[in-house]
Each structure stands twice: as C-alpha cells, then as structure tokens.
Amino acid sequence: MTMSVAGNQRQTYLRLVATLRPHWRSDLLLPDRIQKLLAGEKRFGSRDRRLYRELLYTTLRFLPWVDPLWDTDPERAAAIVAWLAADGPATANYRAELSISDPQSPVSLSAKAAFLKLNVADLLPTWFARECPAAFTPAELETLHQRASLWLRLQTGHPEQVTDELSNNGWKWRMTSPLPEAIEISDEVNITACASFRAGAVEVQDLGSQLLLHTTMIKADGRWLDACAGAGGKSLQLARILGLQGKVTAHDIRASALTELQIRAKRAGLRNIVTTGQPPEGTFDGVLVDAPCSGSGTWRRAPHLKWITHPAMVMEYATRQLNLLGQFAAAVRPGGQLIYATCSLNRSENESVIAAFLQNHQDFRIEPPFRDFGYQTSPGGITIMPSRHNTDGFFVASMRRR
C-alpha cells in the first residue's frame, strides 16, 4: 500500500526527532543544530523546511506532553504534535490528515490539556514558578505556548512605502497601538528579501524590545553608551531617538557582533553610532546595560531553553549582571541616566539585581516610568509579560545618578 504524502512526512519528522533527542535537553545552540539538519536535507524545499521547523519547535514547546511517548507510541506523539502545531500553508495538509483531533477548531491551552488528560503547568519548569509566578496565569501560559509573531520597527518617515510592499506580497500585517513605528507580521515570511529591509526602512525587533526605551524619557541630542550592544538592535533604536545631534557609542567584546551592527547602521543610514571593543573612557548622559541573561523571556522563540536552563545558571547570570551594572555605572555622569534591561522574566536577574545594585551604589535612585504601556510596575522596574501585546518577555529599570 502506497503511503500518503503526509504519512511520508511523518516518517521524516520522526527520523529528525530521533536525531535531535539526545541534544534537546543539553544543547544551548539547538536552533543552529536544527537549521543545519534541515539545510543538509537537499531534497527539502522551502515549504518542507517550514513544516519540519514548525513541528520540531512545537515538540520543544510541549516536550513534557510528548516526550514520554517517543519510545512507546511515537505515532501518537506525532499526532499530538500535529494538533498542537500552528496552522499555515506549510502545515495545513499535514495537520488535516494526521492531527489527533480536529485541527481547525480553536481550542484553548487548558482545553487541550484536559483533552489529553495532562497538566498545563507541566509545560514550564517547576523552578520557574518561584522566579515568575505571573507566567503560570492562564493568559500567560496561553501566549507562552504560541509561536511568536515577527515584529518590525520602522526606520523611515514614509511608512506607506513599507506597508504597501507588505500588502503587495500578500502578507498579513498590522500596526500596533502601543508604538506607531511597530508592525506585526503573523505570517512566516522572509523579510530580508524585501526592498524595504534592504533599504534600511525597517529592522526586525520584537515589540517588547522596542517598548523598553520608551518606558523612560530619553532627551534628544544626548551622548549615550550602549554597554552590551551585541548586534545593535537597541543601538539603532537609541540612535533614532537621540537624533542627528546625538551620539551612541556601542560597546561589545565580540568583534563579530560589532561588525553586524556596523552593517545594520550603514543600511539604516545612521551616522551617529560608533563602535568599540574596549570599554570607553569618560562619562555619558546615559548608559544602557542590556545585560546577557538566561533568555527566559524568549522561550516562545527558543523553547529549548526551558529544558536547558536551571537555577544555578540563573544565579550565575545574576552575578554577572550585577558586576556589569557596577562596572558601567561609573560611566554615567552626575545627573545622568542608567537603564538596565534583560530578556529574562526571572526575578533573580531583574528586581533582585536592581536591589543589590542600589544597596551598593547609594548615588543612584530608581526613576518611575515615563510610560508603563499597561504593565504592572514594581519598586524595581517594569516586567513586560508576553500576553498583553503578544511580545517576548523583558524587564527594564531606569535609574538616575544623583
């Protein structure tokens, strides 16, 4: 009997799972491993890669629900993953044939758990309840287990040029109310192929990341240090906020990240950014410490981190973050501003770091947010939870030197 196309795809998916299983609770670079695995399958077209990427990432999001089945009933595990996967052109036929239940009926996460006789809370690590209790509320659990949207930040005064191109491509998009320069695309698209992207009119940046710098009042024309710039998403945004008379010094110890930042700045036509691999001398009107972190706020995009991160790792990051804050606080001029941010939802990396820093640096004080975008604030800052605006998770605190 000839196997259907979806049946063949299921066999391929199970083979990919068998290859990845030894690594998905230990490999921090699992997304790179998945990408190389799919790229190595020369017979795959772009739609095949989108299908298997969605199935594999769904597997990682819902790992506790399907992991026990791989050795006993792998076809049931595959059927559950087909049901839980996001709907789209690449997955529609596969889900229609192989899903354990009707894939078209909208079902909440709690209803899916009840159908499978499983527990929703099992989808997050038990230790995470101490770090972020809010993540275990129904709304946050629902959002944390949905595929994240692609967010763009406009870098042009003519947004219609961008939105016309998006519409002409037939993509589903919307502009959001929190920030007029943010655009959400719900389809899986290759934005780098767009003329608007190549011209620097848009950059890829999650809405939550975009909101961070708008929670405080940053004066134009200032001199700022982006102390942990990386590839420079916030450096680019900060440069636009400061304007032509302002200046951003972007620092990172990784030369490859600064090279990518330089490419992005040139593409955007921003000439008020300079990069350096050495800690700069002197003081600045403001310093942004977007600190390396555990990345728990990015679990929607990097679900493997749920099963690799552990409390000792979180505390190692917290120690490093406190040291970075202390190091770069010295670069804030008297009366200047210090912004601390992470893409983590862990209290140990956020409010606890701020509390320890303020205890050791009496010349700084917390500033109340200029805008909170509807998020609940704490004495230590603002935690951007994903469900309110369909974002990744972040934390931000703004401090002023006396």
Q: Among 324, 337, 325, which residue's Cα sits nearest to residue 222?
A: 337
| Catalytic residue of the set 132, 194, 228, 343 | 343
Q: Distances from the Cα of 331 to the Cαs of 273, 287, 341, 401, in angstroms?
A: 17, 7, 17, 10
- The answer to whether 107 and 291 are in contact (CB under 8 A) is no
Q: How far is it, in rounded angstroms, from Cα 375 to Cα 380?
A: 13
Pairing assessment for the beta strands 381-384 and 377-378 based on DSSP bridges: antiparallel
Active-site annotation holds for 293: no
- The answer to whether 399 and 337 are in contact (CB under 8 A) is yes
* Angle CA 159–372–344, to nearest 5: 90
DSSP three-state, residue 162: helix
Q: Which amino acid is at 342?
A: T
Tally DSSP H helices, then E strands, for the chain.
18, 13
Pairing assessment for the beta strands 364-366 and 332-342 based on DSSP bridges: unpaired
**What count of other Cβ atoms lies within 10 Å of the Cβ of residue 357?**
22
If you ran DSSP here, which 8-state letter would residue 194 be given?
A: S
**220-221-223-224 Cα dihedral, nearest 10 degrees:** 30
**What count of other Cβ atoms lies within 10 Å of the Cβ of residue 160?**
9
Cα–chain-centroid distance for residue 44? 27
Beta bridge partners of 286: 224, 337
Residue 297 buriedness (CB in 10 A; 0-12 / 13-18 / 19+): buried
Which sequence positions are flagged as catalytic?
343
